[in-house]
Structure 1
Amino acid sequence: MRESAETRQARIAEVVRERGVARITDLADELGVSVVTVRRDVEELAQRGEVRRGHGVARSLRPMPEEAASGNDAVAMIVPESNTYLTEAVQGAREAAEKAGLRLALHITAGHGGAEREAVRQALDDGARGLLLSPHWRTQEEADADQSWLSGLDVPAVLVERRPPRTSAIYQVDCVRTDHAYGVHLALGHLVDLGHRRIVLAARDDSPTARVIRVEFAGQTAARGLADGCRAILSSPTAGPDPLVADPRAVDLAETVAECGATAVLIHSDMDALVLVRGLQAAGISVPGRCSVVAYNDVVADMGSVPLTAVAPPKAELGRTGVDLLLRRLDMARGGLRPGATRHLELLPDLVVRASTAPPAV
C-alpha cells in the first residue's frame, strides 16, 4: 500500500534534519516516487517552515556543524561606493538572502586599486561562506589584474553585473548581468521609430557596463546606417577611467547637439542625464521639443523637471538571481555534491517611455 503524502513528507523532513541537505533526486529514489512528487512535498514542507528549498535540494533549518561552530550563516556582497545603480540590486539580494535564512553582509569599496581584494579578505575573516562581487573595473587592465586572486578564492562566488571575457582565468565563475546590448537596441529602436536619425551618445566610460554601451552604440548605429550622424561624448568630466584627470571627451552637450544637428540624446547614466538636460534647457534647447532624451539606468530618471524616458535594467532581479546562483553553489558544497555547470545569465532590460521623447521637430 502506497504511503500517504503526510507520512512521506514526514520521512522527507526527518531525512533532511539528519543529513542537513538532501538532493531531490536521491529522495525520489529512496522513497520510490517521482521527482515531481518530491519537489511538491518539499515545497509544502518549506511553506510550513519545516525545511528550506534549494536548487535541486532540500536543506535543514538547523545550521550544519561548521555553521553552528561559527554561529554564522552569512554571505557577503561587495559593491563600489557611490554606485546608486546597484542599490536596488543590493536590496534584491538582501530579500533573497533573508528568504533563504542567510545573513547578507554589505561591504562598500573605495575607488583605489586593491579595494575589492581588501573587502573580500575582511568578508572572509568575518565568516562569509560565499561572495557576491561587483568590482569597479574602471578599465580592462583593472579587470585583468584581478583575475589571479579571484581565481584563487576558496569559497563560492558570483559576479553581479560583471562578466569576464572567455580568455579570462575567472570565466568559470558564475555571473549574472543585464543584456546592455539589448538596452541600447531598445533606446535606438524607440528613437528611430519616432523619426530621429542624428543621435548623440553622452556616456560614462568607467565601468564594464559603460564600455558595453559605448561599443554597442557605435556598432548598432553603424548597422542602422546612422553612424555619420551620431557622435559619442563623455557624459561628465569625472565619468572617465580616471576621475582625477580632465578628459577631453567631456565636451558641452548643448554645443555638440547644435553643432551636429542632433535631435536626440542617449545618456548614461540617468544621474548625469538630469544634469545634462538642465544644461540643454539653459541653452534654449527644449526637451523634447528640440531634442529628445533617453536616460540609461532608470534610478532617478523620473524625478527631473521633465520625466525621462529610460532604459531600465532589472536591478533588483540582478541581486535576487545572484543570491540564487550562490545558494546553488552552497547547497552543492554542503551536500558534498558536484558543483555542476557554470552559469552565465543575462537579464533583459525594459524601456520605460515618459515625457522626454517625441518625434523630431519638422
Structure 2
Amino acid sequence: MREPVDLRRQRILAAVQARGTARVRDLAAELQVSVVTIRRDVEELTREGRLRRGHGVVRSTLPAQELPERVGGDGDTVAVVVPERHSYLYEALHGARTVLDAAGVRVALHIAPQVPGAERPQVERALADGARGVLLAPRWRSPATEEADYRWLAELDVPTVLMERRPPRGSALHAMDSVCSDHWYGAHLAVEHLVGLGHRRLVFATRDDSPTARTLRAALAEIAGAHPLVEEWVWTLSASRGGLDREPTEVTDLAAVLRKAGATAAVLHGDVDALMLVQQLAGNGVRVPEDCSVVAYDDVVAGLGSPPLTAVSPPKGEVGRVAAELLLRRIDDPGAGGARAVQRIELLPALTVRGSTRPA
C-alpha cells in the first residue's frame, strides 16, 4: 500500500529536524521513494515555512537550541583552492562560500603559495581528505605555468570548476566547467567611457603576471585598434613583481609614456597599482583628472583613492557564487556526468564612474 502523503512528509520533517540538515538523495533512500517525490514534498514543506532548501540539501526551520545535538558535519566537503595574497580572488571565495554554507556543504580552504605548480599538491591533499568537488583559481603567472597544469587537471575524477580562469580553445581544459568575468567587455566599457568624454589618445598599463592581465591587454589592444575615434594608443606595464619563478621587469615611468604619446587618459590594471601610479603622476606634475583621466580595472580599493578612481568592476563575488552553484549541481547529480554539457560561463563587469575622469 502506498504511504499517505501527509505521513511521508511528517517523516521527512522528523528526519531533517533530528539532524538539522539532510541531503535529498539520502532522504529518498531512507524513505524508499524517488528523488523526484522527495523534491516535490520538500517544495511543499518549504512553501509552508517548515523547511528551508539548499542545493540538494534540506534544513530545519527550528531554532538551533530546539534541535538535538548533531554528530559530525553536514556531509559533503568541497575544496576551494586560491592563491595567497590575492584580494581579487578572495572576493570570489567569499561569494562561493555563501552558496556552499547555505547548502550545508563544508568548505575546505587551501591557499596555494606563489610558486609554479603549487595548486596540484593542494588539490591532491584535498581529494585524499575526501573532498567531493573542487573550486579552483590557479595563479598561472605565465602561459608556460598554465599549460603545465592542463594534463593533471583534465584527469581529475571529481567535479571541478575553474573560477576566473578561461583556458584557450582547443586546450586540454577546453571541456572543463569554468565561470569567468568577460574582461573583453570590461575593456570595452573603459575605452568607450574615455572616448565618450572626448579622449582620443590613450595609454593602457596592465600587469603581466596573470591570465586576467594577459586577456585584458589583448582586449584593450583589439578594441582601441579597431575604434574609429582612437587616434593613438600605447601599452606599458603597470607593475611587475618578481618571485621564486621570475625576475621583475623594469616598469617605464607612466608620466613619460603619457607625454610621449600626447595621451590625455589611461586605463590602469589593477587598481592597487592604479592608486600608486596616480600618486607617482602627481609627483611628476600630472594631475588627475585635470591633465589625465584614469580608469582603474578591478575595483577592489579604487574608490578609496584621492581622487576616488573611476573603475571597471568584474563581478568577483558573483563569479564565486555561480561557480559554487554549478559545482553543487555536478555533485548532486553525478549520474548525469557526460549527459550534461560543459559550461563556460561569462559574467559581465560594470563601470563605476567616480572623480578620476572628466571631459578632455
Give the Cα–Cα distance (whole angstroms) in 2 for the partners of residues 230 and 124 of structure 1. 47
Structure 1 pair 18–82 and aligned structure 2 pair: CA distance change class (3 A): closer
Structure 1 pair 7–311 and aligned structure 2 pair: CA distance change class (3 A): farther
In the TM superposition, residue 27 of structure 1 has moved relative to its aligned partner by: 5.7
Structure 1 pair 90–131 and aligned structure 2 pair: CA distance change class (3 A): same
Q: Report if the CA contact (8 A) 2:88-2:300 is conserved.
A: yes
Q: In the alignment, which residue of structure 1 is the partner of 2:211?
A: 208
Structure 1 pair 256–6 and aligned structure 2 pair: CA distance change class (3 A): farther
Aligned partner (choices 132, 146, 149) of residue 149 of structure 2: 146
Structure 1 pair 42–180 and aligned structure 2 pair: CA distance change class (3 A): farther
2:139 partner letter: H
Q: In the alignment, which residue of structure 2 is the partner of 1:324?
A: 325
Give the Cα–Cα distance (whole angstroms) in 2 for the partners of residues 48 and 337 of structure 1. 30
Q: In the alignment, which residue of structure 2 is the partner of 1:345?
A: 345
2:332 partner letter: D
In the TM superposition, residue 11 of structure 1 has moved relative to its aligned partner by: 8.1
Q: In the alignment, which residue of structure 2 is the partner of 1:357?
A: 357
Q: In the alignment, which residue of structure 2 is the partner of 1:289?
A: 290
Give the Cα–Cα distance (whole angstroms) in 1 for the partners of residues 219 and 148 of structure 2. 25
Q: Report if the CA contact (8 A) 1:196-1:359 is conserved.
A: yes
In the TM superposition, residue 225 of structure 1 has moved relative to its aligned partner by: 3.4
In the TM superposition, residue 172 of structure 1 has moved relative to its aligned partner by: 1.5
Give the Cα–Cα distance (whole angstroms) in 2 for the partners of residues 268 and 5 of structure 1. 59
Structure 1 pair 332–285 and aligned structure 2 pair: CA distance change class (3 A): same
For the residue of structure 1 that corresponds to 2:149, the secondary structure is helix
1:347 partner letter: L
1:224 aligns with 2:233: no
Give the Cα–Cα distance (whole angstroms) in 1 for the partners of residues 346 and 245 of structure 2. 29
Give the Cα–Cα distance (whole angstroms) in 2 for the partners of residues 116 and 204 of structure 1. 21
Identical residues among aligned pairs (%): 46
Aligned partner (choices 182, 198, 201) of residue 198 of structure 1: 201
Q: Report if the CA contact (8 A) 2:307-2:356 is conserved.
A: yes
Structure 1 pair 71–100 and aligned structure 2 pair: CA distance change class (3 A): closer
Q: Report if the CA contact (8 A) 1:21-1:331 is conserved.
A: no
For the residue of structure 2 that corresponds to 1:230, the secondary structure is strand
Q: Report if the CA contact (8 A) 2:282-2:288 is conserved.
A: yes
Give the Cα–Cα distance (whole angstroms) in 1 for the partners of residues 30 and 292 of structure 2. 58
Give the Cα–Cα distance (whole angstroms) in 1 for the partners of residues 172 and 110 of structure 2. 24
In the TM superposition, residue 139 of structure 1 has moved relative to its aligned partner by: 1.6
1:172 aligns with 2:175: yes
Deviation track 1:281-323 (CA, whole Å, cap 9, x = no partner) reads 1111110000000000000001112100000011111111111
Q: Report if the CA contact (8 A) 2:116-2:140 is conserved.
A: no
Deviation track 1:44-81 (CA, whole Å, cap 9, x = no partner) reads 37x5336x443xxx54669xxxxx99985211111111
Q: In the alignment, which residue of structure 1 is the partner of 2:107?
A: 104
1:41 aligns with 2:44: yes
For the residue of structure 1 that corresponds to 2:266, the secondary structure is strand
Q: In the alignment, which residue of structure 1 is the partner of 2:268?
A: 267
Give the Cα–Cα distance (whole angstroms) in 2 for the partners of residues 158 and 354 of structure 1. 34
2:225 partner letter: A
In the TM superposition, residue 84 of structure 1 has moved relative to its aligned partner by: 1.1
Deviation track 1:193-213 (CA, whole Å, cap 9, x = no partner) reads 000011100101111111111
Q: How many residues align?
A: 337
Structure 1 pair 85–243 and aligned structure 2 pair: CA distance change class (3 A): farther
In the TM superposition, residue 5 of structure 1 has moved relative to its aligned partner by: 8.5
Structure 1 pair 20–115 and aligned structure 2 pair: CA distance change class (3 A): farther
Q: In the alignment, which residue of structure 1 is the partner of 2:19?
A: none
Task: Tell me the TM-score normalized by structure 2.
Answer: 0.84
Q: In the alignment, which residue of structure 1 is the partner of 2:191?
A: 188
Give the Cα–Cα distance (whole angstroms) in 1 for the partners of residues 245 and 268 of structure 2. 18
Q: Report if the CA contact (8 A) 1:72-1:127 is conserved.
A: no
Structure 1 pair 20–185 and aligned structure 2 pair: CA distance change class (3 A): farther
Structure 1 pair 76–27 and aligned structure 2 pair: CA distance change class (3 A): closer
Q: In the alignment, which residue of structure 1 is the partner of 2:28?
A: 19
In the TM superposition, residue 232 of structure 1 has moved relative to its aligned partner by: 0.4
Give the Cα–Cα distance (whole angstroms) in 2 for the partners of residues 16 and 71 of structure 1. 14
Deviation track 1:322-351 (CA, whole Å, cap 9, x = no partner) reads 110110010012xx4445111111011100
Aligned partner (choices 107, 118, 122) of residue 115 of structure 1: 118
CA-atom RMSD in angstroms: 3.1
Give the Cα–Cα distance (whole angstroms) in 2 for the partners of residues 42 and 322 of structure 1. 28
For the residue of structure 2 that corresponds to 1:359, the secondary structure is coil
1:287 partner letter: V
Q: In the alignment, which residue of structure 2 is the partner of 1:251?
A: 252
- Structure 2 unmatched ranges of 5 or more: 16-23, 61-70
Q: Report if the CA contact (8 A) 1:9-1:41 is conserved.
A: no
1:19 partner letter: A
